[in-house]
């Protein structure tokens, strides 16, 4: 195995802090926005699903453009770093406004959510794309990228756990609309902490960037589309983002209508995310021993198995539901570590092979796919609810639901994500980039 110089711990931690911002924004809207629309604003489930999906779908178009812009930017502060600060602060402000509608009636409130969520999505694109591009330029080492991901995924899991568990708790403690407003401000502050941590921690970090490729964005997107291993990895990850998005959207509904206990939402969410805090280093060692692709396959199988067990949620005791969700969380931990490290490998090998830096375009396409999956997941869950005849309400009232709606709540949380994850394995098994391929393009002075 060929090794490059290890990154300073300060840089690893600083880079990982960016996932505090991405974790908070990636989790809380998926967990809280759909219930906010259906059960506080009284928006029909199908319409609410569209509202959650549409602003983030904008990022599918915007992210590759953001990647192209970040590829071409130059700054004395370091490659891509200025985007972290400017876009990150904008994201925090827009998020604080998202749940703070000033009482405009149902249509006006829904419009407020769409506009604020669109502003969040735009700012997030210009933060996330440069952030995800950085590992390919911070180090040329196959193993060092995995170590970098340990910090990112560990802090990501901690953030998801804390924000995902505390957001419903803050809402419930304050109560009603003020509870959602207070939750929005607290989560915005968490986003800002992550932004500033990433900005400060990566100051003076090494850079192994390659000159940006020539040609139009369309030309570079065409080249990226021809990158076989990247295409397979992206397809796998998007399908699993769909699965994750659907499960996050279902947590609140499963907690209220299946588990029916006070605080069940927090416990269920901890079971989903908590294992990542313990298992992220374990998955890293699995990848070092058996390869990243094989580790990703094993994690995906665990994720799918846990989701499919949850089909029986109405017949399982609460402990069984929590245990199956923890199995999903164990797979989820590995399904975050490996693909991000593999993305950096694919982008860096392409840059070394061609001599043309398209890391931003690679990550722009990647984050567009991830955003699409995480946005469409709640949309698909909302569609399941609509097909099941879910009864929306306003004022935080929990209405009686028909048996068809209860079935939709369960299947959207289990069968849908389980099937999507199993389907993703077909593409993952065909991914072929190895450590030897990455080492082949490592400059001699780093061998």
- Bigger pLDDT: 390 or 61? 390
Q: In this predicted structure, what is the pLDDT of residue 207?
A: 59
Q: In this predicted structure, what is the pLDDT of residue 337?
A: 81
As a whole number of angstroms, the distance between CA 152 and CA 15 comes to 7
How confident is the model over 133-157, as pLDDT tens digits? 777 677 666 667 677 777 777 788 7
- Confidence band, pLDDT 50/70/90 cuts, at residue 414: very high
The label of the residue with tokens 């604080």 reads: 96
- Confidence band, pLDDT 50/70/90 cuts, at residue 76: low
The backbone torsions φ and ψ at residue 388, rounded to the nearest 5 degrees and listed phi first, read -85, 0
How confident is the model over 197-246, as pLDDT tens digits? 988 887 766 655 544 444 455 655 666 667 788 889 989 999 999 998 89
Distance (Å) of CA 79 to CA 73, 122, 443 = 7, 20, 20
Most confident residue range from 278-282, 383-387, 410-414: 410-414
Q: CA torsion, points 436, 437, 441, 445, in degrees to nearest 10?
A: -10
The pairs formed by 306-312 with CB atoms below 8 angstroms and a separation of 24 or more are 306/330, 306/331, 307/243, 307/247, 307/413, 307/414, 307/415, 307/417, 307/418, 307/421, 308/414, 308/415, 308/418, 309/414, 310/410, 310/413, 310/414, 310/418, 311/410, 311/411, 311/414, 311/415, 311/418
Q: What's the alpha-carbon Rg for the chain, to the nearest Å?
A: 21
- Residue 41 is classified by DSSP as B
Q: In this predicted structure, what is the pLDDT of residue 371?
A: 74
- Confidence band, pLDDT 50/70/90 cuts, at residue 91: very high
- Residue 8 is classified by DSSP as P
- Bigger pLDDT: 211 or 437? 437
For residue 327, is pLDDT > 90? yes
The distance of Cα 29 from the centroid of its chain, to the nearest Å, equals 11
For residue 160, is pLDDT > 60? yes
- Confidence band, pLDDT 50/70/90 cuts, at residue 445: very low
Q: What is the DSSP string of 301-313?
A: HHHHHHHHHGGGT
For residue 193, is pLDDT > 90? yes
Q: In this predicted structure, what is the pLDDT of residue 219?
A: 58
Closest CA relative to residue 392, chosen from 34, 37, 44, 49: 44
- Bigger pLDDT: 232 or 249? 232
- Bigger pLDDT: 438 or 413? 413
- The proportion of the chain whose per-residue pLDDT surpasses 90, expressed as a percent, equals 27
For residue 306, is pLDDT > 90? yes
Q: What is the mean pLDDT of residues 369-396?
A: 80
Closest CA relative to residue 35, chosen from 49, 22, 24, 50: 49
Mean of pLDDT over the chain: 81
Helices (H), 291-397: 292-309, 318-354, 359-387
The answer to whether the beta carbons of residues 85 and 131 sit under 8 Å apart is: no
- Bigger pLDDT: 326 or 104? 326
Q: In this predicted structure, what is the pLDDT of residue 446?
A: 45
Q: In this predicted structure, what is the pLDDT of residue 288?
A: 81
Q: What is the DSSP string of 133-195?
A: HHHHHH---HHHHHHHHHHHHHHHHHHHHHHHHHHHHHHHHH-HHHHHHHHHHHHHHHHHHHH
The 10 Å Cβ neighbour count of residue 74 is 9
Beta bridge partners of 394: 41
The backbone torsions φ and ψ at residue 11, rounded to the nearest 5 degrees and listed phi first, read -70, -40
How confident is the model over 36-72, as pLDDT tens digits? 888 888 888 778 878 877 777 787 778 778 877 877 6
The pairs formed by 223-226 with CB atoms below 8 angstroms and a separation of 24 or more are 223/354, 223/358, 224/350, 224/358, 224/361, 224/362, 224/365
The answer to whether the beta carbons of residues 390 and 403 sit under 8 Å apart is: no
As a whole number of angstroms, the distance between CA 100 and CA 79 comes to 35
- Bigger pLDDT: 115 or 144? 115
The distance of Cα 231 from the centroid of its chain, to the nearest Å, equals 18
Domains recognised in the chain with CATH numbers: 13-203+211-441 (1.20.1250.20)
For residue 75, is pLDDT > 70? no
């Amino acid at each position: 195995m060929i090794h490059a110089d290890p990154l300073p711990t300060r840089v690893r931690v600083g880079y990982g802090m960016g996932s505090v911002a991405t974790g908070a924004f990636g989790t809380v809207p998926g967990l809280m926005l759909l219930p906010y629309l259906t059960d506080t604003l009284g928006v029909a489930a199908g319409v609410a699903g569209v509202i959650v999906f549409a602003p983030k779908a904008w990022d599918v178009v915007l992210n590759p453009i953001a990647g192209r812009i970040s590829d071409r930017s130059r700054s004395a502060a370091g490659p891509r770093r200025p985007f972290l600060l400017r876009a990150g602060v904008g994201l925090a402000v827009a998020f604080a406004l998202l749940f703070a509608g000033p009482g405009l009636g149902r249509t006006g409130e829904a419009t407020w959510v769409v506009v604020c969520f669109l502003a969040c999505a735009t700012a997030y694109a210009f933060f996330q794309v440069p952030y995800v591009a950085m590992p390919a330029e911070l180090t040329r080492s196959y193993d060092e990228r995995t170590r970098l991901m340990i910090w990112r995924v560990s802090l990501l899991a901690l953030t998801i756990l804390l924000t995902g568990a505390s957001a419903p708790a803050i809402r419930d403690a304050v109560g009603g609309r003020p509870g959602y407003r207070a939750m929005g401000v607290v989560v915005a502050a968490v986003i800002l902490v992550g932004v500033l941590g990433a900005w400060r921690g990566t100051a003076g970090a090494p850079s192994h960037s390659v000159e940006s490729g020539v040609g139009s964005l369309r030309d570079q997107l065409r080249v990226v589309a021809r990158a076989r291993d990247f295409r397979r990895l992206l397809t796998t990850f998007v399908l699993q983002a769909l699965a994750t998005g659907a499960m996050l959207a279902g947590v609140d509904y499963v907690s209220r209508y299946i588990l029916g206990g006070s605080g069940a939402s927090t416990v269920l969410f901890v079971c989903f995310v908590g294992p990542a805090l313990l298992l992220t280093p374990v998955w890293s060692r699995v990848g070092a021993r058996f390869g990243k692709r094989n580790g990703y396959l094993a994690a995906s199988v665990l994720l799918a198995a846990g989701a499919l067990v949850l089909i029986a949620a109405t017949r399982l005791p609460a402990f069984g539901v929590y245990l199956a969700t923890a199995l999903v969380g164990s797979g989820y931990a590995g399904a975050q570590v490996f693909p991000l490290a593999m993305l950096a490998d694919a982008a860096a090998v392409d840059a070394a092979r061609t001599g043309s830096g398209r890391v931003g375009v690679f990550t722009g396409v990647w984050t567009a796919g991830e955003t699409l999956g995480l946005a469409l997941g709640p949309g698909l869950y909302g569609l399941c609810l609509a097909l099941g005849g879910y009864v929306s309400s306003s004022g935080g009232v929990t209405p009686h639901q028909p048996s068809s709606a209860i079935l939709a709540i369960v299947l959207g949380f289990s069968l849908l994500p389980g099937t999507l994850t199993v389907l993703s394995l077909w593409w993952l098994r065909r991914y072929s980039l190895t450590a030897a391929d990455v080492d082949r393009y490592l400059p001699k002075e780093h061998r």
